[in-house]
Structure 1
Amino acid sequence: MAELAGKIFRGQAGDLAKARAVEKYLRLTYTYSLFSKGQGLEDFLFVTRQGNCEYFASAAAVLLRHAGVPTRLVSGFLAGEFNEYGNFYDVRQNQAHAWVEAHIGGLGWVRLDPTPAGEAGPAWGRRLAGRAARWLEAGNVRWYRHVIGYDTYAQRNTFHRLGVAVSRWNIARALAWLAAAAAIVFLVRSAVLAWPRRRTRRAAQDIFSMAQETLERAGLRREPSWTPREYAAKVAAKRPDLSGLTRLAEEHYLELYAGLPRSKEEIAEARNILEDIRKRAGKRFWRR
């Protein structure tokens, strides 16, 4: 680690120059991936050379600290997608991100993002898909705001803005118009939700959760700081006969982060592993 830090910072004068150097080095030298075959930061830096944003941020923090630059790891959401149709920022779970902040004399905490871009496909295709997704999301927000949440206060506010006198006749006409508009929105929304690509399955995640519950009842407790892979590795080290949990953890990752629904055969195999774990889990082996 010290040798790599020396290579990156050679000839760099000042903390800001060092911070930009490590940011550029990680972006250009390593590859972004949701999955890494390595087991830690050293594997990421020297073996697999690919990983998610947490690996890039952790590597930048450790390397800068080797150079004596105060650095902290930050995690949150990268909310840079503005919806021009609904006039709001759209923050989604898949926009979770990790980066670092380095303390530079005279500047304070400076944000650094060493993670390279991971988008694929032609730019025009991404723009077209993005515009379509934002248009649908704006319609979804309007559905909840003006239909699901259309209470008496919202009705009076709408009539006031339209300059319509609140009378029985006008309310009846407005409600008829609203019902027609709601029906159209409902049909469009139903068609969008029925589209196969929007269906999600979480069978693999549920199976891993059931396996974890079984093992925790048997005394194989998962600490809050352990990822599913780490938990599976510790279980396998303590109880080799329960190593099937490692396969369930991988299925869990593929479904949750790669967005790959598991096939019927894969789910059937996972259920068999779950049943085997339930049979083998018995006597408590570790406790805190």
Structure 2
Amino acid sequence: MSLAIKPGKADLHWLLGAMLLAMALHFSHFPLWTSALIVLFMAWRLLLQWRQWAMPRLWLLLPITLLGVAGIYLQYRTLFGRDASVALLALMLSLKLMESSTRRDYVILIFAGYFLTVTAFLFDQSLWVGGYLLLPVFGLTACLVGISYPHGVLSNRLRSRLSLTLLLQAAPLMLMLFLLFPRIPGPLWGVPQDAYRAMSGLNDHMQPGDISELSLSGAVAFRVQFQGEIPAQRQLYWRGPVLWQFDGRGWHMAGNDHAVEKLEGLGEAVSYTMTLEPHNRRWLLMLDVPHILPAGTFLTSERQVLAPMPVRTRMRYNGSSHTQYHLAAGLGSRELARALQLPPGGNPRSRALAMAWQRELQTPERIINAALTMFRSQGFFYTLTPPQLGDDAIDDFLFSSKRGFCEHYASSFAYLMRAAGIPARIVTGYQGGETNPVGQYLIVRQSDAHAWVEVWLASRGWVRLDPTAAVAPSRVDSGINTALTDNTLLPILARQDHAWLRKLYLNWDAVNNGWNQWVLGYNQQRQLELLSRITGTTANWQQLMLWLTGSLLLMALLLCALLFRRKRMPIDPAQALYLRYLAKLSRRGIQAGAGEGPLSIQQRAGKLLPQHEAEIARITRLYLALRYGPHAEPHAEPHAERKTMAELRSLIERLDC
């Protein structure tokens, strides 16, 4: 194949279509001006081909290229990282179209287009994206097939069929490599700097408005498959960051500088498998309180589970927890001081109320009951849109607005407890979840984010108290949707209306969950488990490599046998009649030589059978006309062809030699 030959119009159309499909997924990530320039350059290239205009000169393309690079730099303040690199690649490929006219140029663009297609997984690894990317891959392959054809222009139908055949032939090899090629630990689709910027989830601090803002997102936080029945909704507290330090407005995590709090489980533990979405933090969400940890993780002193590195890819792990327990029966002086810490000033009314409770009620249990009774009976309101709070945020909330979300209730309750001399801390995480009946697993979304309080009692250790449940008990019993008077701010999937849409989504989520578990979640552990099931023994890396090598060799042999097997060429009607004619000649000792043409056979047969010389000549002429004459053309008249075929059949049948 000469790389200097110019591809045809159809090749350009296939290339532009495939490149546009590959870039379409990125348009939502690109700045508007970048997407507009890409479409403009593609339209310009198409116009050049339609009007047969000359390609733009270097003196014009070079300034445009430099301006494009400068624009990307000014937009992202860098040329590296995920967002800037992909935008720059797409823009440069669209500019490359303006100077591409030979097969060599097209080959470069096609393989760069394959790479651009794969970059879509840097932004989204869902099942629908994987299915969609088959379209640009098919289009690029069809373009490659077209420019590789040495004998003119391929029809679109034949080009499509050949491309589909090539992709189907590659599918077994792809599957074998996916199953057996050693899995690389760590993120596959990730690059430095901005690859994890858009991930959402809990932070290591909490201020008024943080949890309510997170609750506006319908994104999935994690999915849970229980071994046995799913616990009751009010038991589904998913433990995340534990916050100790209060600065007058917000709560923050403290140092992990004391021993892990001792856990005494009451009753049987609950076992489950978590599939955690990436959130770019180290903590792993587990049912409150974790008992058995995933491999390679560790506990903080307050029994929060942490991974060695930030979770930047979807993570699957097993866990076991006690929903009934005694936690930290003893509390050291350092932990006690930390659990009672308050800023020296601020919120005077709240301090006075707590101190009055301490004097009058005396016992922690009665003080706790007084605080919860206040939330139940004094007109507090659970809402996603609370008013702004002033410098004394606790006072403003408790005595003025009385409107807040879970972080407002947890923060004010913990403050009151500390001011009354009761050790308290805030736990953030998620509460509840939605059962998907299709796959019998639990879906927990960002809209289920929640904050509650743990107070320390000498007789019981740390005890979970949820002041939100005193104001809106349905939040804990039935979910956030039922607790809000106006739930229109919640994402659609967190609400109970649109039943048909929810049913459609749950079915799709079950399919997508399978994709997450068996494709994106196919890690080293699952790979070795699969090989162990196949071999019946404990698998190791040496066995994996042997299986991979053997499978690839076997597949290569099968493909060679399939591709290079001797194929029986189809015989058209004219050739079938001519073979009958040759069979009659062979009975008279006239054998057609290998590669001998019809005219040569006619000359030999006419000399040996002079009485049939005229008939033999006529048969030869009719056969040549059908095979190589006007009748062989696609636009030939079918009536004339049928007449010639009938005459040839009649002559051969009458030939008596």
Q: Fold conserved (TM > 0.5)?
A: no
Structure with the higher helix share, 1 or 2: 1
Q: Which has the larger radius of gyration?
A: 2
TM range (shorter): 0.3 to 0.5
TM-score, scaled relative to structure 2: 0.21
TM-score, scaled relative to structure 1: 0.44
